[in-house]
Structure 1
Amino acid sequence: MKIGVMGHGPIVEKCLDAISKVSGSQAIAIYNRPRSAKEGEAIAKKYHVEKTYTDFDQFLNDAEIDTVYIALPNSLHYEYALKVLNAGKNAIVEKPFTSTVEETDHLIQVAKEKKKFLFEAITTCHLPNVKALKEYIQEIGELSLVQTNYSQYSSRYDIFKNGETPNIFNPQFSGGAIMDINIYNIHFIVSLFGEPESVSYFPKKAENGIDTAGIAVLQYPNLACSAVGAKDSESSGFAYVQGRNGTLKINSPVNESRELIVTIGKDSKTINLQQSDNHLVYEFESFTKVVNEQDYDTCYKWLGHTRSVVQVVEKARKFAGIVFPADLK
């Protein structure tokens, strides 16, 4: 893949580092708006990216780019992914994929019509330790509960409390805790069990209606799963899958899943199949393999999972009365 990257900041730097470690992928260009040109140039220099753009049309018309990674504010994912697909390029869209299921469905339709690859950049589903956990599900017997927690104090929360509204705490940009951080937990749960029978969400809301923390409950037949996410407080991250015969524990937030502890009866063992210190490497390895092998079936399978997650999050927001502009279109 010859990748053009949109955006700047920590996630873009981590992405560029990951791409540099994946055979068959190369970042060849970075696009930023003119006001962020200096940031884009500095990142390009740091990661040895040859070209920088501040004109989006020029960036999109670069014939050398076959895939575009979109790391823009949440509310812009749909608009720019659509432009990328219509320009005849593959799109990798940073999580959360879109604001609504309707937007997701349209992007999938266009990707299929244009025979282009479309991916959500979500680490959880591609991590070897999560794949290992799935293999042990049957061994822990009849399931009882699933608990997940990813809580990380946002550096922008103080600014928000002082009266400013950064994108991540702004409904206009499809921000909030469930979209930014708890979505990893929801991806984890849905990857294990598919779409739930019912979804509820109990958030802590700010005055502007955005959720700064919250608990989502995904109800399956005879199984309740909780997804806890907060951007206004800190906690150790984890995932527990409890069964009659034992437990499976991810000993970190699921977006990294740094190790898996398998406990069956009195026996316990720790598994770590992840060698890279950059957990984004695994998703870019997956994307590169699928594109190089022209494996549309796997791409569409992943998109089906993404759609399920978008639907769960949309149901959770509606349950809690969290409304985005995209809901009103």
Structure 2
Amino acid sequence: MIRIGIVGTSSISERLADAVRAVDGVALGPVASRDGDRAREFADRIGAPGAVRGLDALLSAGEVDAVYLASPNAAHAQQVEAAVDAGVAVLVEKPATLAAAEWDGLVARAREQRVVLLEAMRTAYDPGIRSIAEILPRLGRVRRVSFRYEKRSARYDHVLAGEQTNIFDPSLGGSALRDLGVYPLHALVLLFGEPRRISGARVGIASGTDGLGSAIAEYDDLVADVAWSKITDTALPSEIQGEEASLSVDAIDAPRRLVLTPHGGASEVIDVEAPENPMIGEVERLRDAVRGADIASDQDRTASTLRLVDVLLQRPLR
């Protein structure tokens, strides 16, 4: 049984705990937080076997085989390094690090020490993405891709009120690009590979980071536009256009309803069967990796996505 400790007590950690309970071969380990009382309260709520104050205490206790890191983005690299050096497998919430070079260094360190290091990019392990990959040949030669993830955060109201909040705090690595933009970018890399060029623009908000943005990615024979936002909503789907057909995707982070429309033909609706909790796939992948599955391609996709984020972050905010 692979014991997974949880670092962080946010709602996403609670969903991860639910996913662990749904996957064979894994079990919840203790919870760690900088606030010991919060860790104990959270552990009681999710049914974890204990709680400790801080990652170091969790790693030294010898009660976990892997850790899930759901701390602020800026803390990821240091915490990954500590876990890898302790010989403990790591599932780190996206974005895995603030820069591609950090990720490359950590992957090299993990491989040298034969420790599993995996980004918790749920899109990569979602059955909806697999369905899209299977349908792609029916589209003919793909020419245009339009992926988007735009969802207004309730915490944007705090920014509008003049307050700071973690997901919009640049000192903690918070930004709409890192929080939501990585989903369509990662899906783009997974389905079509890393583009040869990307450019874009980001709109700044009062907290000092981006609230939304758009990018154009160039390939040899297709062009892709990517949009992300945490300050506005959209009713528009994502879409892939081929010379023979187009495919509409209801949500690129967790595709559940696909509409295939052949050129000059009638549309076909394809409903995707998937677990209610979209984090189950990443827990299964972590389990398989600890058991010996090769995750080099997973790590490479993370690196490709982070390189695209690096480029987009170089442009000043508007």
Taking structure 1 as reference, are residues 56 and 133 closer, same or farther at Cα in structure 2, changes over 3 Å only?
Answer: closer
1:64 CA displacement: 2.5
Aligned to 1:302: 298
CA distance in 2, matches of 1:258, 1:243: 20
Aligned to 1:321: 316
TM-score (norm: length of structure 1): 0.91
Q: Show the 5 A alignment for 1:146-225.
A: 146-207=145-206, 209-225=208-224
Aligned to 1:260: 258
Taking structure 1 as reference, are residues 244 and 282 closer, same or farther at Cα in structure 2, changes over 3 Å only?
Answer: same
Q: Deviations over 1:143-190 (max 9, x none)?
A: 221111211111211111222221211221111111001110101111
Q: Deviations over 1:86-106 (max 9, x none)?
A: 111111010011101110111
Q: Deviations over 1:186-239 (max 9, x none)?
A: 011111111111111211112454110010211111311111111111123632
CA distance in 2, matches of 1:275, 1:129: 7
Amino acid at match of 2:307: Q
1:269 CA displacement: 2.8
Q: Deviations over 1:111-164 (max 9, x none)?
A: 001101110001111111111111221221122211112111112111112222
Taking structure 1 as reference, are residues 55 and 244 closer, same or farther at Cα in structure 2, changes over 3 Å only?
Answer: closer
Amino acid at match of 1:59: L
> Structure 1 residue runs of 4+, over 4 Å off?
none
Q: Does 1:6 align with 2:3?
A: no
CA distance in 1, matches of 2:220, 2:274: 36
Instruction: Note if contact 2:89-2:290 (Cα within 8 Å) is conserved in structure 1.
Output: no
Aligned to 2:271: 272
1:267 CA displacement: 3.9
Amino acid at match of 2:260: V
Q: Deviations over 1:242-281 (max 9, x none)?
A: 11111122212x2221222223242433333433111111
Aligned to 1:246: 245
Aligned to 2:47: 48
What value does the CA root-mean-square deviation take over the aligned residues? 1.5
CA distance in 2, matches of 1:219, 1:275: 31
Taking structure 1 as reference, are residues 235 and 258 closer, same or farther at Cα in structure 2, changes over 3 Å only?
Answer: same
TM-score (norm: length of structure 2): 0.94
Taking structure 1 as reference, are residues 20 and 230 closer, same or farther at Cα in structure 2, changes over 3 Å only?
Answer: same
CA distance in 2, matches of 1:321, 1:172: 16
Could you tell me which runs of 5 or more consecutive residues in structure 2 were left unpaired when the two chains were aligned.
none
Instruction: Note if contact 2:30-2:63 (Cα within 8 Å) is conserved in structure 1.
Output: no
Instruction: Note if contact 1:246-1:263 (Cα within 8 Å) is conserved in structure 2.
Output: yes
Amino acid at match of 1:108: V
Instruction: Note if contact 2:128-2:254 (Cα within 8 Å) is conserved in structure 1.
Output: no
Aligned to 2:78: 79
